[in-house]
């Protein structure tokens, strides 16, 4: 499937499943088969972030950005403007 998707031409591999173990295993496989591939992976918590980082993936915590967005909306609702 990966070859059919022309993975050899890709710069990034994005892993966005809801299962932390699947994300770890996928990141390990991609790192092994394509050591220079940039991996961006969804992470559930801090421990998951560190496991992905150990593999060499850029981890994005699923609740981190939603927390920032809620804070941004609250501050804007209170009349503060963005910088």
pLDDT tens track for 8-43: 888 999 998 989 999 999 999 999 999 999 999 999
- Name, in order, each residue with C-beta under 8 angstroms of 42's C-beta and a sequence gap of 6 or more: 15, 16, 17, 18, 23, 59, 60, 62
Asked whether residue 77 is domain-assigned, the answer is no
pTM: 0.76
Asked whether residue 80 is domain-assigned, the answer is no
Asked whether residue 76 is domain-assigned, the answer is no
Asked whether residue 82 is domain-assigned, the answer is no
Q: Does the pLDDT at position 82 exceed 70?
A: no
Give the CATH number of the domain where residue 53 resides: 3.40.50.720
Domain count along the chain = 1
pLDDT in tens, 36-74: 999 999 999 999 999 999 999 999 888 878 778 878 878
Asked whether residue 50 is domain-assigned, the answer is yes
* 76 pLDDT tier (thresholds 50, 70, 90): confident
Which residue range forms the structural domain that includes residue 20? 7-67
């Amino acid at each position: 499937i990966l070859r059919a998707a022309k993975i050899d031409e890709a710069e990034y591999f994005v892993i966005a499943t809801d299962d932390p173990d699947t994300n770890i295993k996928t990141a390990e496989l991609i790192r092994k088969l394509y050591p220079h591939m940039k991996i961006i992976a969804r992470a559930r918590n801090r421990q998951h972030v560190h496991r992905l980082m150990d593999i060499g993936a850029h981890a994005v915590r699923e609740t981190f950005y939603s927390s920032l967005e809620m804070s941004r909306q609250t501050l804007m609702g209170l009349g503060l403007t963005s910088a």
